[in-house]
Structure formats: structure tokens, C-alpha cells
Amino acid sequence: MQDLYGEKTEKGVLRNGKVIAYLMVALFLFTQFTHVWASAVSYRTIQQSSLYYPLFFPLKANKLLAKMGVKSNDRYKDINMDEFDNNTLHYPLTKLEFQNTDSVHLNILWILIDAWQYETFTKEISPNIYSFAQDKITFDRHYSGSNGTRGGIFSLFYSLPSLYWNDFLYSRTAPVFMDVLKKFKYTHAIYASAPLTSPEFDKTVFAGMKDVRLKTPGNKFYERDIQITKDFCNWIDTSTTGNPFFGFLFYDTPHNYNIPPQFPHPFKPYWDVIDFSKLSNDCDPTEFYNSYKNTVWFTDSLIGQVLDRLKEKNLTENTVIIISSDHGQEFNENKKNYWGHTSNFSKYQLQVPFIISWPGKQPAHIKKFTSHYDVVPTLLHDIFHCTTSSDKFSFGTDLFDTVPPKSFIAGSREHFAVIDLENNRINTVFFNGTISVTDMKLNELREKPKGQLMNNALLELKKFYRN
């Protein structure tokens, strides 16, 4: 009887265990499918809930559901908006104040090249930009806030680490920079080669702007790059508003290693067809790198057209022109078998060229560490005479401040790094909570992260959340 009882008990436990396992799987699938649907139809109440569960990463399938006929529903877009804003974000920390609000303001133009490696900002590879930069302000050690497009663009417009991305996305909170442009009645000319819907810049950076073109016509990346060049130049020729403008040009060709077949390929030998399967730690990167350099050379030719048109229209005399990138690009320079971006936080994936043409400012060659976080504070203070301290709305300071930062936070919600600039250490925090300490060339070190450094970083990251 005892054996029989024990056998029945064992079977009962096994049966109950299976029931619990099936139930957990069913709940997991239900949760994920619910978030997939909520993302597709912009139902923010459900989307917002995922932020409160650590290590929970909801799935998305917006494109698939759109093909199946599931579309974003306007009635969900503004649901409980005030509740989200009041309970989650506290951004900015205080209302921005301005002096000389009636003064004439400069135009602002941002020209970005997706995945532009710092080492390709040379006379040979990017001749038009290099020539333009000779009597301008250039930065030797400028970092994006992320090693990917989503975080890089976010860090530039918001002056915040992209760990904040989901909160701003779900609450549809635009950057204060765009609010300031609206306040001072700037017109805009926004032309991006890649869709502004993936990542969802239409619901973050450009949230609330109804007349922004979200997709540029063209089947190939280089066709869309050519198109945005034509469109912006045409806008310059025909715009008659008389108001200052904000321009945004975002080129995509270097991100995809593809240029028109008939266009010159000055860097040889190169790969006609990019085969990522050939990449390894023992791979000679020369041909792959030459393919990339050819795309930079092509993109530079298009930007040269934009710069020439601005000069023809005498707009360089009253326009702040910034030329940079969303993130860097790696070709196994550290011999750790890293290629491209989004995989680590070394300088090859974070450092980007940064050039400013600023009427009234003297040419300069700035060697101190600067970042995308510093761009908006500089523009707000120097153009719009904002008197509010930059720490009330950003992680940055003035680009021309002589005091370099001691540390820098880069990454995304799932994966980020606290870079110790004084001791040349990269403290990478992974999604499971572990921390890796390396030198700047990604060599593993048998060191613990500095407690005070990490504590200060984590406290700083909480700054724009409500207590």
C-alpha cells in the first residue's frame, strides 16, 4: 500500500507539475500576444505595463499584423496620456526660461550619415565634407549616445541615454528641442532615407508633427539618398516662409553597403556582393572595408550638392550646420571579431565625426571628449538664450565647455555601458544584471566596477523619472 500510495503521489505531482507548466506557457504566450497587439494598435496602457517588470522584453510584430489588416487605432493613441506623463516621466525637470525672445535666430541644419565611421572622415574618403570642415569647428573625440540608430538619434534629439526610449515612446513625449523650435516658429524640412516609423521616430522625436514625411520613395537605399538630396535642395529653392528653419537630412547608404552600379568605385578591390558569412576573426577586412568606403564616398558626393546649394543661396551665413552620424561602424579593429554596430561600446561603434559650421564662431579643433548629449544644450543656450541649466533637461553640457566629463553612459534599455573616461574602462551592464569590465580595446580585466562610479550613474539615470 505504501508503494502504491507513493506511486500515486508521484504521478499526481507529475500531473500537477505539467498543469502548472502548461499554465505558465499559456500565460507567457497570452502576455506576449497581448503586447504584440498593443504595439500594433498603439494601445499604451498595455505597452506601459512592461516597463515595471525587470527582464521582461515584450515582442512586436507591427509589420506582420499590418499585412494581416491590423492597423493602429487612433482611439488608443491618446488614452490616459496625462496619467502617463504625470506618473512616469518628469521631463524637463523645470520649465525652460529664455532671454531676448525677440532676437533673430539662426537656421539649424543637421546632416547625418548612418553608420559613419570616424576613421573615414578624410580627404580621400569624404572629400566634400573634409574640404567644408577646414575652416569650421571639428571635434576629435565625439561620441554618440548609442551604438545603434534608435539610441543614437534619441541621444542627439533628447540629450538623454536611450534607456529612456520606451517611456518617451509610450507617452509620445517629444524632445524639448522640438518644442523650442515650435515656440520660436521654425519651419522644418525633414528628409530621411530610411522610414521614420522603424524605429518609431514618428512617435518620439517627431511626435505631434503631422506634416513630416515618414517614408521616402525609392526601392534601393541609394535611390532614397539621392531623392532626399533633391527634395531638400528643391525645398531650399522654393521655401518662402521667411521664418528660420530646422533641417534634418539622414542618409542611409553606408549602413547598407550599396551604391549605384554606374557610380565610380574609387576604393579597390571591393566586394560586389556583401557576404557577411565570410566575416570572422581571421578574415582580411580590406575588400569589405573598401565596399564601405565607396558608400561613404558616394554619400559625401550627395552632401557636397547640399553644401553647394546652401552656399549658392547664401544660407551658410545664417545657418548652423552640423554634420555627423547616429553611431560608428566597426571592422574588427580590436581583433575581437566584432563587425558593424550594436554589439559593444568601443570607440569604433560610438565615436563619430562631428563638424559644426556656426556663423560668428571662430574655427576650432576641439580635442576634449564631447557627445551627442551636448548638442541640444549648446543650441538652446547659444541660439535661443535659454537660461535654464542644461541638467534640468539633458545629460549634456555646452560643447565648448573646457571641463571634460569624467564618465559617459551609452547604450539602450537592455544593454548599456558606463564608460570611465578618467581610467579608460568600459563597464558594460548586460540585460541579466551582470557587469563586464574591459579596457578601451575590449580586453577583459579582472577588476570590479568602481562602486561610486556605478552608483552615481544609476542615480543619474533615475533623474527624469517621478519619485
The more confidently predicted of residues 327 and 37 is: 327
383, 108 Cβ separation under 8 angstroms: yes
173, 203 Cβ separation under 8 angstroms: no
Class of residue 52 by CB neighbours under 10 A (exposed 0-12, middle 13-18, buried 19+): exposed
Which of 4-18, 29-43, 79-93, 189-203 has the weakest average pLDDT? 29-43
Q: What is the pLDDT of residue 81?
A: 35
- Distance in angstroms (rounded) separating the CA atoms of residues 165 and 57: 13
Q: What is the pLDDT of residue 58?
A: 61
Is pLDDT above 80 for 372? yes
* Band of pLDDT at residue 100, cut at 50, 70 and 90: confident
| Residues whose CB falls within 8 Å of the CB of residue 50, separated by 6 or more in sequence, listed in order | 35, 56, 57, 58, 166
Q: Return the closest-CA partner of residue 187 out of 71, 105, 308, 300.
A: 105
How far from each other are the two terminal CA atoms of the chain, in whole angstroms? Answer: 61
Q: What is the mean pLDDT of residues 185-193?
A: 97
Q: Write the pLDDT tens digit of every residue in 267-295.
A: 999 999 999 999 999 999 999 999 999 99
Domains identified in the chain and CATH numbers: 2-79 (no CATH), 107-428 (3.40.720.10)
- Distance in angstroms (rounded) separating the CA atoms of residues 325 and 354: 8
SS3 assignment, position 199:
coil
Over the range 375-384, which residues count as b (16 or more CB within 10 Å of their CB) and which as e?
bbbbbbbbbb
Q: Write the pLDDT tens digit of every residue in 33-58.
A: 565 555 554 444 444 444 444 445 56
Is pLDDT above 60 for 132? yes
SS3 assignment, position 193:
coil
Q: What is the mean pLDDT of residues 308-326?
A: 97
Report percent pLDDT > 70 for the chain: 82
C-alpha cell at 433: 544584471
Which of 85-89, 288-292, 373-377 has the weakest average pLDDT? 85-89
Secondary structure letter of residue 198 according to DSSP: T
Q: What is the pLDDT of residue 210?
A: 85
Peptide bond into 405 cis (omega under 30): no
Q: Return the closest-CA partner of residue 102 out of 187, 183, 177.
A: 183
228, 110 Cβ separation under 8 angstroms: no
- Residues composing the chain: 467
Q: Return the closest-CA partner of residue 409 out of 364, 453, 362.
A: 453
- Distance in angstroms (rounded) separating the CA atoms of residues 111 and 439: 32
Q: Write the pLDDT tens digit of every residue in 444-457.
A: 999 999 999 999 99
Is pLDDT above 80 for 28? no
Is pLDDT above 70 for 77? no
Q: What is the pLDDT of residue 149?
A: 97
SS3 assignment, position 18:
helix
Average pLDDT, the chain: 88
Q: What is the pLDDT of residue 53?
A: 46
Q: What is the mean pLDDT of residues 346-366?
A: 97
